[in-house]
Structure 1
Amino acid sequence: MIGEFFRKIFTPKKWVVVYSTQKIDEYMTVKGKLNANGIDARTDSMGAGGGLGGGGDGFATTYNIIVLEEYVHKANDIIHNQK
């Protein structure tokens, strides 16, 4: 019982990509839907440079929305079946 308790506390949570886009408006819409439905959605973004000063938030940034593995099915339902 105590071993199970510590395993739950110290086992890292697995985050899964449920949506990817390079369009900031799509990213904001999908992330907003998930948050409004109680899903903790985080962002993992990748930039290919560009923008002012050569930073990573230029023309080719990909926004990956990630959720905990246990919420993948619910998140996909929200993303693809709700208006």
Structure 2
Amino acid sequence: MARRYWSERRRFVKDLEKLKSRVENIQKLNDAKFILMRHRGINDKDAYAIIRKQAMAKRATTLEIAQSIINADGILSDLGND
């Protein structure tokens, strides 16, 4: 019984970690879409289409492109404060 409890608990922890990771990834994608929407004056669907198109062109994941957009926005924001 203890072994079964331990096994179920381990599975639940693993599932929880997957869900946390998924939520973080969705948040990154939404942040990147917001940045594109703000800079280009486009809607949510168009922003996602740009991210997806770039991901396909560069053979990268949408998450990698989103992270690049977030990083670039951070760098450009820091340059404007000088």
> What band does the TM-score fall into relative to the shorter chain?
0.3 to 0.5
TM-score between both structures, scaled by the size of structure 1: 0.33
TM-score between both structures, scaled by the size of structure 2: 0.34
Higher strand share: 1
* Higher Rg: 2
